[in-house]
Amino acid sequence: MRDSAPPPATVITGAAAGLGAVIAAELTRRGQRLILVDRDREALAAAAAAAALPGGAAPPHVIVADLSSLAGAQAAAEDALRQAPLDGLVNNAGGQAPGEQYPAAAPDAWHASVTLNLLTPMLLTQLLWEELARASGAVVNIGSSGGLGDAPYASPEYGAAKAGLHRFTTSLGDRRDVRVTGVIPGWIGLARARAERAAMSPAEREATGPLVEPEAIAREVADLLERGHAGELRRML
């Protein structure tokens, strides 16, 4: 007797730690099969073990890939498609590169940042589109308050990439075969952010505002995967 087909899976990038791991935990609680993508092999294995479904089900499939290059994103997409069916994609991988920022940063460095934060989400969405459409699936892009407004910003490449990601999301608002949505969080309350905020003066803390709980963002992501409207961007500032 042939084994039954596996349930559809959701791909989460940047899933080894931080917000990605929190999203994985939330989707696991909801019974979702997962494919976790990150470049940190050891941390990814630990995240996969933590996100294993209860009841003896197989742990999430892991893909080790450097998404700061389009070649890495292409390889990740090909691996994910081998784990079909798919019904969700969370483009979470991103962040500001350490060290010098544009214009002081080397061209390769700021280009990798733009790739990770904008071009890779676009490429993964494109390469997985047909498979996601079969399940009337959804994409959730994780934006940033750094991509909002017109004030000067410390990392121009990151701000520009996130602004582009927001517009990429809304530009696909007329598509119904795949619902492309997004979340725009403020400063996320992960360990490093909590430490940095604790070191601030009261006046500085008041100026920066409260941290956004990663668990709250994860719940929004899960809701968007289940019932979000195409082109929807939820701000959590």
pLDDT averaged per 10 residues in sequence order, the chain, 237 residues = 78 97 95 96 92 73 97 98 98 96 97 98 98 98 97 97 98 97 95 88 86 97 98 97
> How many residues are there in the chain?
237
* Furthest CA-CA distance within the chain: 68
pLDDT at 171: 98
Return d(Cα 26, Cα 46) in angstroms, integer: 16
pLDDT at 91: 98
pLDDT at 39: 97
What six digits make up the tokens of 88?
């969700």
Residues 6+ apart with CB under 8 A from 54: none
Walk me through the domains of the chain, giving residue ranges and CATH numbers: 9-236 (3.40.50.720)
Return d(Cα 228, Cα 181) in angstroms, integer: 7
pLDDT at 57: 64
Whether the link from the prior residue into 59 is cis, omega within 30° of 0, is no
Return d(Cα 37, Cα 61) in angstroms, integer: 9
Give backbone dihedrals phi and psi of 209, rounded to 5 degrees, phi first.
80, 180
Sheet with strand 138-142: strands edge to edge = 61-64, 33-38, 9-13, 86-91, 138-142, 179-185, 233-236
Are 53 and 45 a contacting pair, CB within 8 Å? no
What six digits make up the tokens of 155?
């990392």
- First-to-last CA distance in the chain? 52
Return d(Cα 143, Cα 92) in angstroms, integer: 8
User: Cα separations (Å) of 65 from 8, 106, 165, 186, 213?
Assistant: 21, 23, 21, 27, 27
pLDDT at 1: 42
Q: How many CB atoms lie within 10 A of CB 97?
A: 18
